[in-house]
Amino acid sequence: MRAAVVTFPGSNCDRDLVVAMEACFGRPVARVWHADSELPPVDLVGLPGGFSWGDYLRCGAIAARAPIMAAVRRHAERGGYVLGICNGFQILTEAGLLPGALVRNAGLRFVCRPVRLLVANRNSAFTSAYGEGPVTIPVAHHDGNYVIDREGLARLEGEGRIAFRYLDNPNGSVADIAGVLDPRGRILGMMPHPERAVDPLLGSEDGKPLFASVLAAIGGRGGSP
């Protein structure tokens, strides 16, 4: 299992994601800078939370055009796995790697608290280790309101590409969506922070099954191409 985490100017959860991945995967995680043009040989790329370029223009809009994102796109096209969390989710939508967009929370307030989630698809590479019942994972965002047109929503629901739904929607996201998958199920974008829920000292370990799921998926297929 080889993983890398990309840091953009304004990322503030990159170290958190590295620590969580190293704890769950049992091996060092590579650090990649936004201005790099290539990724090291990896199975999984993590795009962390934060405020890339201060959320100037739109959240994730500038980061989506950073040099490293061309390499992330090639990695995804080869069948590699990508996990975008919070700002990382925003970057994935701005880059066109996931459908929809993230806009201002319905209450126009920053939300920072644990939320209860329903695992809407337990058969994906990112969710297969979850059992029945809700999970608790924290959110911390101002622009986490997921929007998509009616036809796009129908495709997500019909293809089982909604990974997580909010049980108590904190931001107004359509259909209570908290995380979505790409058509191949190898790219996940989610607003909640699983890396902040991998240790009992953090108040929840409900993020660990996500990392266990992708580790099992990658191990079962012998790594990404």
Q: Which residues of 160-178 are buried (b: 16+ CB within 10 A; e: fewer)?
A: ebbbbbbeebbbbbbebbb
How far CA 58 is from CA of 128, 178, 190, in Å, comes to 33, 19, 17
Are the C-beta atoms of 214 and 194 separated by less than 8 Å? no
Among 86, 94, 141, 142, the one annotated catalytic: 86
Active-site annotation holder among 13, 75, 94, 195: 195
Nearest by Cα to 193 from 122, 135, 107, 106: 135
Q: State the Rg of the chain over Cα.
A: 16
The catalytically annotated residue of 34, 141, 142, 193 is 193
206 and 136 Cβ atoms separated by less than 8 Å: yes
- Residue 43, Cα to own-chain centre: how many angstroms? 15
Q: Any catalytic annotation for residue 195? A: yes
CA distances from 64 to 58, 88, 99 (A): 10, 9, 14
Tell me which residues are annotated as active site: 86, 193, 195
